[in-house]
A and B are shown apart, each in its own frame.
Chain A
Amino acid sequence: MNRILVCDDDKEIVEAIEIYLQQEGYEVIKAYDGAQVLEILKKQAVDLLILDVMMPKLDGIHATLKIREESSIPIIILSAKSEDSDKILGLNIGADDYLTKPFNPLELVARVKSQIRRYTKLGNAAENSQSVYQTGGLVINDDLKEVTVDDEPVKLTPIEYNILLLLMKNQGKVFSISQIYESIWNADAIGADNTVAVHIRHIREKIEINPKEPRYIKVVWGIGYKIEKA
């Protein structure tokens, strides 16, 4: 049973998270400020940490910095600060995920699961084959024509699969709609239309926890689509 430490200065939020996580079979330890978190981490082993940012005594950002000095456990930051700059800061100091309040509890649970799988799996991820592409928890095996997200298989249509493969093979590169169209359908793009965009949305709905805040397939508005380099 995985042990999760939940820390927020708002007790009701901690309790609600506890209920959700217990339903999924996790063991939950509760803390209400950053100092408590550090104390608990010293005493017992924890598999994942959910951390609020604005807290008394020691805030989430400083707590994360302290924890990262000696531990690499997955940390999900939970914050009312929804600015891009806040997210970037959180991820840069070593958090693995950043979720803004108010959050959908089911999304939180999904993200917890994803982080735990990746963390426990990290050791045997050396399935290095020419035809296997990976970013984060997303793995596409071109030999088996198989796509998994955090080890959960995902079912894609052939076109969706080809689009995802194209983006995964060229991680970090931005493909415009007509480039995608030309390489998937092997035909000139006659005119602009929604087809590609609709497929991309469908892929996102299948592989992302929250399609509106995609982790893998990013939209570069007015330019194209890309998958961020891991």
Chain B
Amino acid sequence: MNNKFNNGFKTVAALLQMVFLMIVIVVFSLMVNLFVRNRLSFRDIGNGYSFFQSYYYSEEISEEIKSLMLYLQIQRGMKDQVLKEPENSKYKLYKLKYDSGESNLYYWFLDDDMIYTNMKNVKEVNEAIEMAKNLGNYLYYDDFSINLQGNIAYFEQDFQIDVMRLFQTGKGGALVVGVDTSLPKKDSIAKAESIYKTYLPWIGICLFVMIAAFLSFLLIMIYLTLATGRNEDDDNIRLYRIDYIPTELLFMAMILFVAALIAFCAKLGGKDLGISSSLILTGTLVFLSDSVLLTLYLSFVRKIKADQFVKCSISSYIIRTLKQAIYEQGIEKRGMIRISICSVLELFFLLEVFIYHSVWAVLGLLCVFLYSAVKIMQNAVYRKKILYGIREIGRGKLDSKLNVKEFKGDYRDLAEEVNGIGQGLMNAVEENLKSERLKTELVTNVSHDIKTPLTSIINYISLIKMEGTWNQNVENYVGILEKKSERLKQLTEDLVEISKITSGNIMLDMQPINMVELICQTGGEFNEIFEDVGLTIITRLPKEPVMILADGSRLWRVVQNLYNNVAKYALKDTRVFVELKMERGIAEFSIKDISAQGIHKSAQDLSERFVRGDESRGTEGNGLGLSIARNLTNLMGGTFEINLDGDLFTVSITFPMINP
């Protein structure tokens, strides 16, 4: 495809994805922490209000007023009866809070002609209202006109009802609350203001970071979704090992993991941890769960891409198997019926046993089990036998046949087919042998047809020579004709021989043979030929006989070809080394000579058909000699090796020795 899907990118993306997700989760949990701890109000995010305009302030002040009202109720109750616990301690707490002069909140409460206030020397409502207005924030409720006014923002809807409940109906009364917005006292409102001022800008940043991180996370997820399974080299979807786990199992794993995660979080939720330790815990959890869930998610994505989501699942496997069983029921029909009957019987007997506790049902169950066991074992035996038959065929015993009568049911069909394979292979082999025979026959026939005209050529050349009295040139020409016709004769004979050897169409007469004797005999045949071309043979032979199993006349042909080869191609006036060695039950014959012309062929090529060491066409030989030698040696169970070291040409032949 291209390199935007390479593994480096994918790894980096996975890491970045985790980092961003971590940021999102950590920042989110931080903010949730702040809100849950009532440090801030959601609605203040981003509106840039000052403290006294904020929702947070209104929430804070509502709480204050509610506790103030509670305080007022307690005070009012004190005139009728003595305070009991816990009202008494609450009263003391509130008194300290609102009446010790350390509060920025001022109140003036008139009810039932009683005045409760922390504004000193204020007796009139108007005076109180005036004073409260001067403080900055104020609230005024007139019970007579049921009118609530003030400049404190965002009161909750039901605040007025709460206030109304404070008054004893019909008596007329008023509540004036004022907040000193310069906050000279260090009370809870001042504290809330400092918190608001400290955290609000951070909240904005946090939110921005969270959104940015979340968007990046989404982008990277999109990239990963596109990239997973793809490779830089090809367009195919690569599946990993995990992707071959059935889809259901992966789903189960995911559900279990998520459930465990939720359970764990729920357990933790109950405990109150510090902000820093909860952050660390959150990070760890995110890291862990992200690795697991991302892996699973990407696996799903890959599966869908490779069209394996459904295919590679347990249910699909079961459905496929069932489908096959239904479509090709012929194969295992009997087996299916047997299994069904056994299952029904087992179910029936089991019911009998467990519901009616009947004894004969136990016996019946035993019988069914026994029958199944016997069937299973019988099938195992059949399979083994068929396997054995196939193995025999595989090892080349094509005529081995299974006894079809030993098999039953589907296994009989199988056994018949196995026998059919053997027969088919045998036919193919025969066919092949036949074509090899035909090839050899063709070569033989062609060579016969060549031999007849060649006979005339040779005879008439000989007649021309007998006529004599030609000039020198004609005599030379006739000489060439004579040589060439001789070579043609040799060639046709070699051709027939090589085609027979390579097609394995010769009969070998394998006898115990003394290699030493054979080499001496060959030496006797060749010594004058070698002397004529100025070659000296150095023969090194063991004193005792070296016995091998071979066809003597064929082995002679091999050695003869090697000697002929030397006579034709060795450098004049050099030595030829013939050696016979015995080593660990192997007889090795080798012949070494120095080539007259540089050999530009590989050792392998030299024993191929029609390849000669020198490229010149003028000399004798047709290139079949070494090939015939090699093939004959191999046919007789020996090895044939040619070695070229510069101009040093070595042929070695080995045969396993036998006891004399």
A82 within 8 A of B: yes
Are the C-beta atoms of A201 and B459 separated by less than 8 Å? no
Our pick among A13, A23, A176, A199 for the contact of B514 (Cβ within 8 Å) is A176
Contact between B513 and A222, CB atoms less than 8 A apart: yes
- Across the interface, which residues of B come within 8 angstroms of A81, CB to CB? 448
A106: chain B residues within 8 A (beta carbon)? 462
- Report the bound CA distance from A177 to B524 in whole Å: 11
Q: By the criterion CB–CB under 8 Å, are B493 and A16 in contact?
A: no
Chain B positions 493-549 with a Cβ under 8 Å from a chain A Cβ: 493, 496, 511, 513-525, 527-528, 539, 541, 543
Q: Are A104 and B458 in contact (CB under 8 A)?
A: yes
The answer on a CB contact under 8 Å between A12 and B460 is yes
> Does B164 reach chain A (CB closer than 8 Å)?
no
CB of A192 within 8 A of CB of B541, answer yes
Interface size class of A (residues with CB under 8 A): 35 or more
In chain B, positions 75-103 with a C-beta closer than 8 Å to chain A are none
Interchain CB contact (< 8 A) of B520 among A10, A104, A105, A194: A194
Determine whether B36 belongs to the interface, using a CB cutoff of 8 Å to chain A. no
Known: A19-B463, A82-B493. A177 touches B521 (CB 8 A): yes
Distance in angstroms from B604 CB to nearest chain A CB is 29
Interface of A is mostly: mixed
Contact of B455 among A101, A191, A197 (CB under 8 A): A101
**Other-chain contact of A105, B447, B459, B493 (Cβ < 8 Å):** B459
- Tell whether, in the assembled complex, residue A221 and residue B463 are in contact, meaning their CB atoms are under 8 Å apart: no
The answer to whether A80 touches B552, judged by C-beta atoms less than 8 angstroms apart, is no
Residues of A within 8 A of B539 (CB): 193-194
- Per-residue B-contact encoding for A194-211, CB less than 8 Å = 1, 0 else: 111111110000000000
- Distance (Å) between the CB of B443 and the closest chain A CB? 13
Chain B residues with CB below 8 A from A220, complex form? 552
Report the nearest B residue to A103, measured CB to CB: B455
The one of B454, B456, B466, B517 that contacts A223, using a Cβ cutoff of 8 Å? B517
CA A80 to CA B552, docked complex, whole Å = 25
The 8 Å CB contact of B517, one of A82, A104, A222, is A222
State A104–B517 Cα separation when bound (angstroms): 31
Q: Is B489 an interface residue (CB 8 A)?
A: yes
Give CA–CA (A219, B452) in the complex, Å. Answer: 30
Complex partner residue of B552 from A177, A196, A222, CB under 8 angstroms: A222
Contact A197–B524 (Cβ < 8 Å): yes
The yes or no answer to B555 lying at the interface (CB within 8 A) is yes
CA distance A102 to B454 in the complex (A): 6
Q: How far is the CB of A112 from chain B (nearest CB, A)?
A: 14
A17 at the interface (CB under 8 A from B): yes
Determine which residue in B448, B463, B520, B522 has the highest number of CB atoms from chain A within 10 A of its CB, and name it: B520
Which residues of A from 145 to 202 have beta carbons under 8 Å from B?
176-177, 191-201
Name the distance in Å between A72's Cβ and chain B's nearest Cβ.
Answer: 28
Q: Which residue, of B451, B485, B493, B521, has the highest number of chain A Cβ atoms within 10 A?
A: B521
Which residues of chain A come closer than 8 Å to B451, judged between CB atoms?
Answer: 80, 101-102
Closest Cβ of chain A to B274, distance in Å, is: 102
In angstroms, Cα B521 to Cα A19, docked, is: 39
Complex Cα gap A176–B448 (Å): 37
Residue among B459, B460, B511, B522 having the largest count of chain A Cβ atoms under 10 Å = B459
Query: How long is the Cα–Cα vector from A222 to B658 in the complex, in angstroms?
Result: 14
- Which of B456, B459, B520 contacts A197 (CB under 8 A)? B520
Q: Contacts of A67 on B, CB cut-off 8 Å? A: none
Pairwise interchain contact A221-B521, C-beta atoms closer than 8 A: yes
A177 CA to B543 CA, complexed, in Å: 13
The chain B residue with its CB closest to the CB of A54 is B448
Residue-wise, chain A 69-93 has the 8 Å CB interface mask toward B (1 for contact) of: 0000000000011100000000000
Q: Is the CB of A200 within 8 A of B514?
A: no
Residues from chain B with a CB closer than 8 A to the CB of A103 are: 455, 458
Bound together, the chains give a CA A34 to CA B463 distance in angstroms of 27
Are A196 and B520 in contact, CB atoms less than 8 angstroms apart?
A: yes
Is B556 among interface residues, defined by CB-CB distance under 8 A?
Answer: yes
Bound-state CA distance A194–B550 (Å) is 22
Contact of B456 among A16, A200, A225 (CB under 8 A): A16
Contacts of A199 in B (CB 8 A): 524
Report whether A194 and B456 are in contact in the complex, using a CB–CB cutoff of 8 Å.
no
- Asked if A193 meets B520 with Cβ closer than 8 Å, knowing A10-B452, A222-B514, the reply is yes
Chain A residues, CB < 8 A from B289: none
Q: Separation in Å of the B560 CB from the closest CB of chain A?
A: 10
In B434-461, the 8 Å CB interface with A consists of 447-448, 451-460
- Are B521 and A219 touching (Cβ within 8 A)? yes
Chain A CB within 8 A of B597 CB: no
**Which partner residue on chain B sits nearest A23 by CB separation?**
B466
From A221, which residue of chain B is reached at the shortest CB distance? B552
CB closest chain-B residue, reference A53: B448
Q: Confirm or deny: B50 has a beta carbon within 8 angstroms of a beta carbon on chain A.
A: no
Question: Across the interface, do B521 and A197 meet the contact criterion of CB distance under 8 Å?
Answer: yes
With both chains docked as a complex, state the minimum distance between the C-beta of A1 and any C-beta of chain B, in angstroms: 21
Contact across chains for A192 and B517 when beta carbons are under 8 A apart: yes
Judging by beta carbons under 8 Å apart, are B521 and A10 in contact? no
Q: B543 near A191 (CB under 8 angstroms)?
A: yes
Once the chains are docked, how many angstroms separate the CA of A19 from the CA of B463? 8
Contact present for A194 and B524 (CB under 8 Å):
yes
Q: A41-82 vs B: 1/0 string, CB under 8 Å?
A: 000000000000010000000000000000000000000111
Query: In the complex, how many angstroms separate the beta carbon of A154 from the nearest chain B beta carbon?
Result: 19
Residues of A within 8 A of B457 (CB): 102
Instruction: Judge whether A94 is part of the interface by a CB distance below 8 angstroms.
Output: no
A102 to B458, CA, bound (A): 7
The winner among A12, A13, A102 for most chain B CB atoms within 10 A is A102
A99–B556 CA distance with the chains assembled, in angstroms: 22
Measured in the bound complex, the distance between the Cα atoms of B448 and A54 in whole Å is 10
Q: CB-CB contacts of A87-131 with B at 8 A, as 1s and 0s?
A: 000000000000001111110000000000000000000000000
Residue from B447, B456, B556 whose CB has the most chain A CB atoms within 10 Å = B456
A97: shortest Cβ distance to chain B, in Å? 16
Complex Cα distance, B513 from A220, in Å, reads: 10
Expressed in whole angstroms, the minimum distance between the Cβ of B258 and any Cβ of chain A is 86
Q: Is B553 on the interface with A (CB-CB < 8 A)? A: yes
B458 contact set on A, CB distance < 8 A: 102-105
- Choose one: A19, A82, A177, A201; the contact of B496 (CB below 8 Å): A82
Name 18 interchain pairs, CB-CB below 8 A, sorted by A. A13-B455, A20-B463, A101-B451, A102-B459, A104-B458, A104-B462, A105-B459, A105-B463, A177-B520, A192-B519, A192-B541, A194-B527, A196-B524, A198-B524, A219-B556, A222-B517, A222-B550, A223-B514
For the complex with contacts A16-B463, A80-B451, A223-B511, 8 further pairs of A-B residues with Cβ separation under 8 Å are A10-B452, A13-B459, A82-B496, A105-B463, A106-B462, A194-B524, A195-B524, A225-B521
Which 10 A-B residue pairings sit nearest by Cβ, starting from the closest?
A197-B524, A222-B513, A221-B552, A16-B459, A222-B518, A194-B523, A80-B451, A221-B556, A102-B455, A80-B448
